[in-house]
Chains A and B, each alone.
Chain A
Amino acid sequence: MKPQHIVIAALIATSSVAVAPAGAHHSTSMYDRSAPITIEAEVVEFRWVNPHSYLTVVEATVAGATPKTWSIEMSSPGVLTRSGWSKRTFNPGDKITLTFGPLRNGDLGGIFLQATLADGKIMTYSVELPTE
């Protein structure tokens, strides 16, 4: 499933519990890492699934505005585990500060760059080897 489909599926699903598919291996150049967006957000769902895990969040907005729901893609559980993540890294209801590279086409999706958890812990990952 293509990233655009992921976003659409996530939007369809977020009225209840999100059920967006994670999609297959693919390039991430449809995301613009050079123009990152940082938002205050609440976790709706964290799908710890291959080949790409993803996070569905609702952006905190000013009163009266329609809240935006974003679908944020990341690497696989194998790669994320080696970066210190687990399936419990994010839980529904968690308040986080999230930075991501947005989809270039303007849909509400992005590639994960960094998150700051409520306890101040910063989550990142890399597919490149950590230096030892």
Chain B
Amino acid sequence: MPASSNRSLLVGLVRAASVAVALGLPFVGNPQPATADWAALGALPDWSGVWVPDVAVQRRKERNELPPWAPAAKAQIDVLFAEDSAGRPKLLLDHCLPHGMPSWMLITHNAMEILVTPGRVTLLGEGDGNRLRRIYTDGRAHPEDPDLTIHGHSIGHWQGDTLVVDTVGIIPQSYIALSEAVGIPNNGHLHIAERIRLSAPDTLIDELTITAPQVLAEPWTTTRLWVRRRGDLYDIVEGQCVQGDLVEAVDEHGNAIFEHAPPADGGRVPLDR
């Protein structure tokens, strides 16, 4: 089947799901894929391999492409920049939770890989233990009242070779961060629209439009780049952040276990672990 036919088929399947909803039929997510659904993936752009963030671009934009902060947020950000420059960085991410959205896309130093399967695009990140985004492309809508999560609820669809993603349901504590020392919690009602596509054979561009009415005066559109690397040198390395706060030990039975690291001050475990 020619590629264009496959793409039409894929679009048709998504439309069928939408039509089913429009007709009042119950939409059931995660439908069982048919052979044609797997075959249709071959018409989509190839996003295999390992994607390494372009940190140089991140660092350039950290100072030169600032979000349209609301005044109260801007005042806080100015202090954070000054503190970081003075060698007193605020440790935004010292809790070992995932960076969350949108910070993962904006500031991570770690690679990711992308799995495209029928009805889903899955981003698997390196680090944090559970750095993972599920983008549903099976035609579903957002839940009416989603449970709030660090990465939010994402739905997407393909527009030609561009994956268009819409994300809501993100916890208010998730940072809009420019670096690991400069950022502010979104404080609620965050919405992120993304357009992800190849801008060159081995370059992925993510254009994000971030709407955060509690901290941004207006929606902020920015881009970040990811560069493809192949070869096993770039395999994703499992990275469990909290493992760094534990130490290997042996219990009374001789079992290999983890223990909490000894407190730095000889007293209780530090609050920031």
Contact = CB atoms under 8 A, between A and B. Distances in A.
Contacts of B262: 9, 12-13, 19
Contact of A82 (B127, B234, B273): B234
A43 interface: no
Contacts of B85: 29
B89 A22 contact: no
A76 B55 contact: no
Contacts of A76: 109-110, 126-127, 237, 239
A81 interface: yes
A6 to B, nearest CB: 8
A129 B227 contact: yes
Interface stretch (A44-52, A55-63, A89-97): A44-52
B241 interface: yes
User: How many of chain B's residues touch chain A, expressed as a range?
Assistant: 35 or more
Contacts of B84: 27, 29
Contacts of B210: none
Chain A binding surface SS class: loop
Contact of B87 (A6, A13, A30): A30
Nearest to B245: A21
Nearest to A47: B244
16 contacts: A1-B244, A1-B261, A8-B264, A24-B245, A24-B272, A25-B99, A25-B128, A30-B87, A49-B243, A50-B240, A50-B243, A78-B111, A79-B109, A81-B233, A104-B87, A128-B55
Interface of B: 52, 54-56, 84-85, 87-96, 99, 109-111, 126-128, 179-181, 227, 233-234, 236-237, 239-241, 243-247, 261-266, 270, 272-273
